[in-house]
Amino acid sequence: MKKSKSIIKLKNVWKTYTMGDVKVHALRGLDLEVKEGEFLALQGPSGSGKSTAMNLIGCLDIPTKGSVYLDNHDISKMSESNLAQIRGRKIGFIFQQFNLINTLTAIENVMLPMMFQGIPEYERRARGKKLLGMVDLGDRIDHKPKEMSGGQQQRVAIARSLAVDPDVILGDEPTGNLDSKTGISVMDFLKKLHKEGKTIVMVTHDDILAKEAGRIAYLKDGKIVSKDEIRRL
């Protein structure tokens, strides 16, 4: 059986914020490895460091101390411009607040990451239509976010996360602003992406949703305190 390679690795990662005379340690020597093709859920109480860890995994921030590897590249030593390039190519983001641009249509929101990668306009539009069709929004491509429901906006966000065909999809409470029925449909789509080979890392407070992942990592006080491997029948 072929052994999965590591796609993300955090080694002895600390993240410290200075607030006046006080130093706040959001992460305290965090070690975490994500294998290629894995579906990992990050759980923990408020203040446990989940969102900070997600920001580091997503190359949105660099650690105060320690190393973060994405495809064997140590992002802790990269400039902001290089960070932006690697996350633009390798990582797709799905946020709780959707983070769509309200002045742009659905297809324009999906096309935006492709523009930053220098993809020609006709290719951007063709791929944008295809992705919106995949999330059952083919009839909504010219609608702006305020003309869509929360569930529809999140599906636009999922389509946008796939715009440059990234290796890793990061979901920060991706169902947090949705009703339970719509949340389940979003989770079903994430599971479908996982079956197609995408690596998924998801932050969630929901125990039921977390158990849909292949592995759960629990954070407390900036460190992983236990891991729960989920066996599939």
Q: Is residue 48 part of a domain?
A: yes
Q: What is the pLDDT of residue 86?
A: 84
Q: State the CATH number of the domain containing residue 166.
A: 3.40.50.300
pLDDT of residue 119: 92
Which residues form the domain of 215? 6-229
Residue 1 in any domain: the answer is: no
What is the count of structural domains for the chain? 1
Q: What is the pLDDT of residues 89-103, one digit of tens each?
A: 899 999 888 899 999
Low-confidence ranges of the chain (pLDDT < 70): 1-3, 226-233
Check residue 231 and give its pLDDT: 39
Each residue of 105-125: b (16+ CB within 10 Å) or e? bbbbbbbbbbeeeeeeeeebb
Which long-range contacts link 23-26 to residues 24+ away (Cβ below 8 Å)? Answer: 25/222, 26/52, 26/222
Q: Which residues make Cβ contacts (< 8 Å) with residue 41, sequence separation at least 6?
A: 202, 203, 204, 209, 210, 211, 212, 213, 215, 216, 217
pTM of the model: 0.86
**Residue 110 belongs to a domain:** yes
On whether residue 74 sits in a domain, the answer given is yes
Can you tell me the distance from the alpha carbon of 93 to that of 220, in angstroms, rounded to the nearest whole number? 24
Predicted local distance difference test score (pLDDT) of residue 185: 84
Q: Is residue 55 part of a domain?
A: yes
pLDDT per residue as tens digits for the range 26-79: 999 999 999 999 999 999 888 899 989 999 999 888 899 999 998 888 988 888
What is the gyration radius of the CA atoms in the chain, in angstroms? Answer: 18
